[in-house]
Structure 1
Amino acid sequence: MAVPPISPIGRLHTLGSLPAIPFAAWMLARHGRIIPGSPAGRAYLGFMLLGALTVYPIAHEPISKAFATLTLVALLGGYGLSRLASGRPFWRYVQTASLSLSVFLLMLPTTSEILRRLPAGHPFVTDMKDPLLLGAQGALLQALLVGVPLQIRSLVRQARLPAMSKVAH
């Protein structure tokens, strides 16, 4: 059994959103968060918008459209907070959490699709309640729930460094 055929808009959705993954991974590894104003951050935004917006014409389940909408809210909210986040720690924390949520919302269906479609003819998962799929989704949720507080802690420490250096001088 081969992989089910993908429509042209489905192909655009898949190939358009996949580049967001390495951009997100690079920024998370390098900076500990998505940096909206960076070249990688702008590329992430573009690919995420393409991926989220192309869900609507191809979605078969209402949950898919709900995920796309939530992704757009998290993404646009995070990028929209760029001006508020400048010099205001609280908004920077909200921005960071929002953009991390957008990564989670990218990876959740990506992981599901990979496990349900590959390898061609013998996918790893054939049922949405398969323990492998549920475990992968749980691991992504755990990464979000552990990662965001760590990101916030890092931002708090960064905000304290300039204040601490002023006290030392």
Structure 2
Amino acid sequence: MFGISPLGWVHTLSSLPAIPVAIYMLARKGRIVPRSVPGVVYFICMLLGAVTVFPIAHQNVSRVIAILTLLLLFAGYTVGKIGSLKRAGVYLETIFLSMTAFLLFLPTVSEVLRRVPNGHPIVTDLKSPLLLGTQAGLLVALILGVSAQVVYLRRQNP
């Protein structure tokens, strides 16, 4: 179904819960909070999703996104624990983890548009205006979202 291999389904189903968890934390807390129960779920799902990309990826860009996701994920979950960074650690943690959400949404939206409905996908070309516009929209959302998060953090503790 949808041209997805069994390992592809493992990848999809293991990373899929990260989407509602990220949306929940962003809506509820204004950022992805690593030291929380949803934060742990997000970490596990993102880790499984990124690691399982390597055996199923057909394009080098998929591997690059997975590597960036892993680097940002580990950086985001550790930088806040570095005491010498103080407030800067919270800012970096927020930025890094927001970027992981972007790197999750980017291929997810692309894959959905290129696979659904089954047999007659909405987008058949990687240069489709709809696909490129959606990706650009996600980039704008990342820039605006991270900017709003930084402003919010600054107002919380001037």
Shorter-chain TM band: over 0.9
1:16-165 matches, within 5 Å, as 16-84=14-82, 88-160=86-158
Superimposed CA distance per residue, residues 43-81 of structure 1 (whole angstroms, 9 cap, x where no aligned partner): 000000000000000011111100000000111100011
3-state SS, counterpart of residue 81 of structure 1: helix
Question: 8 Å contact 1:97–1:148 — kept in the other structure?
Answer: yes
Q: TM-score when scaled to structure 1?
A: 0.90
Larger Rg: 1
2 CA distance for matches of 1:70 and 1:106? 11
3-state SS, counterpart of residue 121 of structure 2: coil
How far did residue 91 of structure 1 move? 1.4
2 CA distance for matches of 1:42 and 1:86? 24
1 CA distance for matches of 2:127 and 2:21? 30
More displaced stretch, 75-84 vs 13-22: 75-84
Number of matched pairs: 158
1 CA distance for matches of 2:139 and 2:14? 24
Q: Any stretches of 5+ residues in structure 2 without a counterpart?
A: none
2 CA distance for matches of 1:19 and 1:85? 31
Question: 8 Å contact 1:59–1:65 — kept in the other structure?
Answer: yes
* C-alpha RMSD of the superposition: 1.4
Question: 8 Å contact 1:85–1:92 — kept in the other structure?
Answer: no
Q: 5, 9, 12: which is aligned to 1:11?
A: 9
